[in-house]
Every structure is written in structure tokens, then in C-alpha cells.
Structure 1
Amino acid sequence: MESAAPLEKPGVVLLADNEQPREAVPLSGLDAAQNPVQIYLGDEHPRKRSTRSKWAIVLISSTAAHVVTAGSGIYTLSYDQFKDEWGTSREVSTLGLSLYTLAMGLGPLVIAPLSEFYGRRIIGLCSLVLYLIWLIPCALARNIETELVGRFFTGAAGSAFLSVAGGTVGDVFEPSQLQTPMLVYSTIGFLGPDVGPMIGGVIAQYTTWRWSFYVLMICTAILLALFYFFSPETYAPVLLRWKIERLQKETGPDINVDQKPRSIVRAVLTSCTRPFQLLVLDPMVTCLCILTAFTLGIQYLLFGGFTYVFETVYHFELWQIGLTFLGIAVGAFVAMAMDPFWRRYREKQVENNNGISEPEFRLPTVAFGALCLPISLFWFGWTSRSSVHWIVPILGTVPFGIGGLFVYSGVWTFLVEAYPIYAASALGANAFTRLVSASAFPLFGVQMFERMGIGWAASLLGFLTLVAAPFPFIFIRYGKRLRGLSRFAKS
């Protein structure tokens, strides 16, 4: 820790280390006329931690996001058991998926601002504890009403890791180092909705649906222990506040610093409106959120789509239907293998820009991924027929895995770098739009495939992704100019 000058005079000015904008902490009630003393985090700054510690923090948060998103899909192949036990229809059972996903979208609107006030660690711990508690009524439910209520609050409890975890990656890594850790975080989180049905299919085939929730409870308990012992606070403004409070105790009341807002409720309510301000007032946030919303909405719609296609056309059993999601997973790993190429491409862009990095250099991967999505959907839709071997439509989902991962990782990294002060709020806005979309799509997925036919239903989804595909290309060219006009972005 860097040593500070003696704190002898009242009204000294305490300043955050301004090397990174996200470290700035608003201080009020200061008399700048007094001799100022600069207080730095120094070695306490999260970006000064060892590489091993940084990656431990990222992997734990990423795995938590994976478990939470897997919790949505692990439920989807148990609908027949709900019908046998409670007499519920597929539509009512699907509400459990939609309510869970909707809650994951609404949660970050409150949790993201709270994390910027209280810090990442306490929010993460509370999220895991509450997630574990709400899994209990889901596992022990005796009627569909209890199950649906439990699903909603479980999704809300776990939603912290869909916005705060992304901000945590930006806390511990410099902007120039963000690409690989953000790709790892995106990959682990992206695979959650696909790993869930793989596990859920085996459980539904060989045992009761309640074991889906028992498995989630075991994983959450392990994660809670890992998070408690190996994931410290990473939000620099909170760490700086703690350091100032510690110095105040050591030096007495001579330091006159008022860092806390007069009304915590007012501060949180003000922060809760920021994601909507970003969505309404910043066109880049709006358009990129639409792209991710289409991507995740279609990914969740495929829960029902895969069941319909491989059950009616290929007569797969439940555990086999779960394994059809491997195509998307393989695509995600192919995208990870392409990361060195895109890293070199970005380094060349920085070099050609006189060594200055721009957030828009993150968008070529998004543009590439956006083009992969419609290709995948057209391929899957028009090869899903009994005259074509089942492996062909599964291979058609590989480009969806590539495109989806590049879209998510590129957009999230862009938001963290372009909106550094409001990173959690920008990610919260993105989580809200994509998860609200994902909560609606499954409600009409099976019906759409039944009435339109597999080929035309998949084509309609492909045309939706084509509508959003130009957005990253536009922002590659005009993004810097738009950032200059934004009241939120770094210009």
C-alpha cells in the first residue's frame, strides 16, 4: 500500500487514483483550500492482484453465472412429469421457464446499482444464499403454483451474476487485457442454457424432476463456499471508501469527508433509472441490446424447438434430445479457438491507430457473429426432416454457437470499455432486454414450429437476426462519433 502524507490539518482533500475513470469516487463537504492529501489504493487496487487471484475471481463468478443460466434450461425436459403429477399443460409448465428468465432480467435493474454502492462481494454472497434458499421450495413443491412462485424468486436471486459478474471482470483487468477474460466469462455463461437441458434430459429420463433442483442446490452450495473464501471485493470506489474510513479511524475526526449520500434509497432509485436512460438515450446501447435480445430469445425458444424437432421427426428419447444442444456448445468452443486470430486483428487496429485503443475495436467479432446466426437458423430449419440424417441439423447449430458467443462477448466487452463509469448499469440494461425477450420467446416456440412448419419457423427467426445484423457494422464506422455525443460513454 502506498503511504500517504501525514493527515494533520482539518478539511484535507482525499482524491481517488484517477488513472482509470471507474476509480473516481464523488466526495462532498471538502475544503479544497486546505493542503490536499491524495489517497491512492496503490497495491490494494484489484488490478494489482496476482494473475492467479484475478483468474480465480473471474472463474468463480463465471461459474456462478453458468449455474444460474443452466437453472433455466434444466427444467425444460420435465414437462411430461409435471403433467403426470399435477395435470398441467405444456403452456403452464413453460411459465416456470418464462418467469425464471423474466426475473433474471428484472433483477439487474436493482442489483447493478446496489453493487455500485455496496460493492460486488456482498451482492454476490447474498445472491448465492438467496438462490440456494429459493431452490428448496422448487425441489419440494407439491403443486404447480408453488413451483412457479419458487422459479420466479430463484431467477431473481441469481440474477446478480448476469450483470455484476461482467463488471467484476472489468474491475480486475485493464481494458487492454479484457478480451480473453471476457471471452471466458461469456463462454461459461453462454453454455449454461445449453448444459441445463443436457443434464435435465438425463435426470428426466432416469429419475424424478426433483433431482434437477437437488443438483442445482449442491452446485450452489459449493460455489457459495468458493466465493466466500476466494472472491474478495473488486470494486475500486468501495475499496477506496473503506481505506478512507480506516484512515479516519487512525487519524481522528480531523478528516472531514462525506462520501455517503444523504438518502441511500434516493441514490439507489436514481441509479435504477440509469439502465433505462442508457436504453432510451444512447442509440448504441439500444441497438446492441436488441441484437443480444434476439440472440438469447432464439436460444431459449430452441428449448421447445429442439424437443419438437427431434421428438417428432427423429423420435429421440429425452436424454438424446438434451444432447442435441451439443452442437451449440461445440460452436462456442470453436469461437474460443478463434480468439487468437481476433486478438491479433485488434492489436493491428490499435497499432494502426497510433497505439490508441478504441471500444469499437471490439465490434468486428460482433459483426462476424451476427452473420453466423441467420446462416445457422436457415441450415437447421431446412435440414430438419426425416430424409436427412439427424447429425446434419445438429451441425447446423454449430454456427449459432459461434455467432452467439461472439455477439455476447463482443457486446459485453464493448459496453464495459465504452461505458466504464456505468459498466454495471450498461450490463444491467443489456441483461434486462435480452432476458425479457428470452422469457417471451419460449411461450410460442412449439406452436410456431407446429403451425408454420420447421423450415419456415426457423427462417422467420433467421430473418429477425438479419434485421439486427447491420448494427455492429454501423457502429464500427460511426461509433466513435456517437460516443462523442453520448452523456454516458467515454469519449
Structure 2
Amino acid sequence: MNWPTWLKAANVGLISCLTFITPLASSMFAPGVPQVMKEFGNNDDLLADFVVSVYVLGFAFGPMFLAPMSELFGRLWIYHATNVGFIVFSVLCAESSSVGMLTACRFFQGVFGAAPITNGGGTIADVIAQEKRGAALGIFALAPVLGPVIGPVAGGFLVAAKGWRWVFWVLAIIGGALALLCLALLRETYASVILERKAARLRKQTNNSGLRSQMDRNLNVKQLFLRAIVRPSRILVFSPIVSALSLYMGVVYGYQYLLFSTFTKAFQDQYGFSTSIVGLTFLGLGVGNLIGLAVISSLLDKILKDRSKVTEANPDGERKPEYRLIPLEWSSLSLPVGLFLYGWTIQYQVHWIVPLIGTAIYGFGQLAVFLCIMSYLIDAFGMYAASALAANIVVRSIFGAVLPLAGARMYTVLGYGWGNSLLGFIALALVPIPILLNRHGETLRKRFDASRI
């Protein structure tokens, strides 16, 4: 918290860059799938979809051990180790000799790529005061939603020019450059680890074995490890707030990848877009994300400061995490509105700009969901923010990996209009979640204390 501004900015900036690159890898490869299946002589459509979504499945496994390990041994070495792992498996993907090898390497690429998404929120909580986190969290939350949007656009041109293997070579090169910058600039930020290292130095210097860190819980390494490794699962299972918000974000994240998996076919079938131009249709979501970033990130800190003023209702001026959910009460309505507009206008082949406006409206709501929920979890769980985010990421990654597999079949049976309307009605049914949690979340949060796990 006492670091100079440039060091805080460097650490948050690097983590945000990593958080952009690893989700970028989830979809950047998608335009190259037809080339892969042709090269390896395989025409299984389900396998073709799975080669893309298995990366997101890796996102579901990685957080369950990356988050607790960071809370046990510190965040810094997790970033360095996973950077190397991401680069290694990106190279192995580029050198794959079969669909099976590519699928396996994509999975482990996702496992290691999950680290910045899992632990980045914890790093921001470590270095930036609660009332000033809005802008940093906005950039951090934008990365995992904007990365998959830009991925297919960049990947489409790269695959056309150099072939599918160069997608992974580019990811390895960018990952290597960021890894070197991380080695130079990243610092340990986790308070418990920093204080324990300081206590260890003082014990050695003074020969006083009784010196202990303020955060020392008087547990041995085995006990600490067991508690840390089960914490994300227990938070997910026993905290109704985390369960509800994880379900909400899981649905929204799954919708994102479902739309990604069907945009190409939808715009080619309905409007006759060429292979190179169809990638630009993903930018509608990106525009909505950027508008959401500008609006919601500016509101988060303003609402927190306004609601935290000393009043009769809040005599202590408490900065309640529930204030982070207030913008979501109205912005969540843009999710079903965007889906309805996109679905029916593309069904009836209204001018192509109108369904893109629908995706932009959806993108606004999507960014609001990500930013408000992540901000809430970071504020509510403090030093255990990484475990709370890990629990959330596991659920959303499973949705992101599984839902796209049902997209083609759903649109075949229901059409684009009713297919997207079904998604819209589900999103509409989830709108009361932030409203109820803003009203009753404080009671639920205080009944569940992550520090007791």
C-alpha cells in the first residue's frame, strides 16, 4: 500500500497484460480449427469445437490450486512459474503432431494461463486501497472479456497469412516478452508472506525464536497447506453469495463463448460475409465492453464514497462490499435486451448493423457483470480474494467450456430468434440476484467468514 505510484502501476499493468493475453489465447486459435482438422484428416465437428473450448476447461482446473498456493507461498513465484508453463505449452501446441496432442497441450496451456485471472484481483487488493480500486479493476475485468473478442479478429488474419501454428508462436513470443518484464518489475504483494519473511529475518538477526508475524496463525506447513487447498471449494460450497454470483457470471461467460462459436456461421449464412470480414463481427461485443468499462468503473468508486459517508443509516461510514453491486441492478437488464435484439434481427436478416448493436448492448451488460462481481468478491474477502475469485472462475470456466458445445444444435432446432430468446429469458431470470444481494448480502456475508476456514 505504501509503494510509489509507478511501482503500483507497473505491477497492476503487467498483471492486466497477462490477464489479457491468456484469454486472448482461448479464442485466437478458433479461425485455424478448419486447417487443423484438414491437416490431421479429422472431420469430427464436436472434436473441432472441443479443441477450442478445452482451453477454457483448463481455466476451471488451474484456479483450484493456483489461488491457495498463492495465499500460502506468495503471489510472485506463482506468476513466474505459470508464465514459463504458458510459454512451454504454447510452443508444444505449435509443434503438435496430432489432434490429441494439440488438445492435451491446449488444456495445460489453459491451466497455466489461469494464474493472472485467478490471482490478479488479489494483487490489486494488495496494493490499491478499496476506495480507489475502480479504474484498476475496470482494466483488469476488461481483459478477460476483451481478449476473446480480439482473438478471432487477429487470429483470422494471422491464420490466413501464416497458418494455424503461428497463432501459438505469436502467443509464445508475447508471453516470453511479458515474462521477462515480470522478472524485472513484479514484486511480492501478499501481506501474510511479506510479514512472515520479515519475521524470519528478524528471528535470524536477533536469535529470538519467539518473534512472530502479526498474521501468524500458529499452524504448521501441513495444516496451512490443507486449509489453503480446500479454501476455494469451501467458499464456493458454503457461501451462498459466492455460489449465486458464480452461477450468474458462469451463465454470462458461457453465453460469450456460445456466441463466439456461432457468430461465424450466423453472419455467413444470414448475410453472406466472407471468411476475412466475418471476424470483424466480434467487435460489436468489444465496443459494448469498452462503453461498459467507461461507465461502470467510474461509478464504482463514486457510489462507494457516496454511500460510505457518515449518516444515520451508516453512522460508522462503513465501506460495505454490497455497494459494488448497485450498478449491476440496472445494467444487468442490458443482457436480455441485447440477446433479444441480436436474435430476432439476425433471424429476419435486418441490416447487419442492428444485430451488432444487439451484441454491443449485451457486451455492456457483460462487462458490468464481470466488474461488479469481481469488485464485490475482492472487497468482501480481502486477503482471501484469490480463493473467492478462484471459486468463481471454476464455475464460469466450466460454463464457458460446455455451453458452446450446445450452440449449433440449439440454433438448428430453435432458430436464431427463439434460440437467443431462450438465452435472454434465462438472463432475465437472473436479474434479481444482485438486487437481493444488495439488500440482504451483508447478513449472509457476516455469517460466512473465510478467515475461519
Secondary structure in 2 matching 1:431: helix
Equivalent position of 2:63 in the other structure: 108
CA distance in 2, matches of 1:387, 1:454: 10
Contact 2:75 2:189 in 1 (8 A): yes
Query: Within 5 A, what are the aligned runs for 1:52-451?
Result: 52-88=6-42, 89-255=44-210, 257=212, 264=221, 266-338=223-295, 339-351=297-309, 352=311, 353-354=314-315, 355-385=317-347, 387-451=349-413
Question: What is the TM-score of this pair, normalised by structure 2?
Answer: 0.94
CA distance in 2, matches of 1:82, 1:477: 51
Pick closer, same or farther for the CA change 1:387–1:149 going to 2, 3 Å.
closer
- How far is 1:260 from its partner? 9.1
State the number of aligned residues.
444
CA distance in 2, matches of 1:269, 1:136: 34
Q: Which moved more, 1:466-475 or 1:257-266?
A: 257-266
Equivalent position of 2:2 in the other structure: 48
Secondary structure in 2 matching 1:389: coil
- How far is 1:61 from its partner? 0.5
Alpha-carbon displacement from aligned partner over 1:202-256 (angstroms, at most 9, x marks no partner)? 1233331111111101110111011111111110111111111111222124545
CA distance in 1, matches of 2:182, 2:131: 26
- How far is 1:330 from its partner? 0.7
- How far is 1:341 from its partner? 4.2
Contact 1:66 1:189 in 2 (8 A): yes
CA distance in 2, matches of 1:235, 1:446: 44
Contact 2:271 2:349 in 1 (8 A): no
Equivalent position of 1:44 in the other structure: none
Contact 2:131 2:301 in 1 (8 A): no
What fraction of aligned residue pairs are identical, expressed as a percent?
33
Letter in 1 for 2:345: T
* 5+ long unaligned stretches in structure 2: none
Contact 1:261 1:267 in 2 (8 A): no
Letter in 2 for 1:84: K
Question: What is the TM-score of this pair, normalised by structure 1?
Answer: 0.87
Secondary structure in 1 matching 2:382: coil
Equivalent position of 2:448 in the other structure: 486
Contact 2:23 2:143 in 1 (8 A): no
CA distance in 1, matches of 2:53, 2:293: 29
- How far is 1:318 from its partner? 2.6
CA distance in 1, matches of 2:379, 2:222: 28
* 5+ long unaligned stretches in structure 1: 1-46
- How far is 1:261 from its partner? 7.7
Alpha-carbon displacement from aligned partner over 1:158-207 (angstroms, at most 9, x marks no partner)? 11111101110101011111222111110122211111111111123333
- How far is 1:325 from its partner? 1.2
- How far is 1:371 from its partner? 1.4
Alpha-carbon displacement from aligned partner over 1:391-439 (angstroms, at most 9, x marks no partner)? 1111111112111111111111111111113211101100100001111
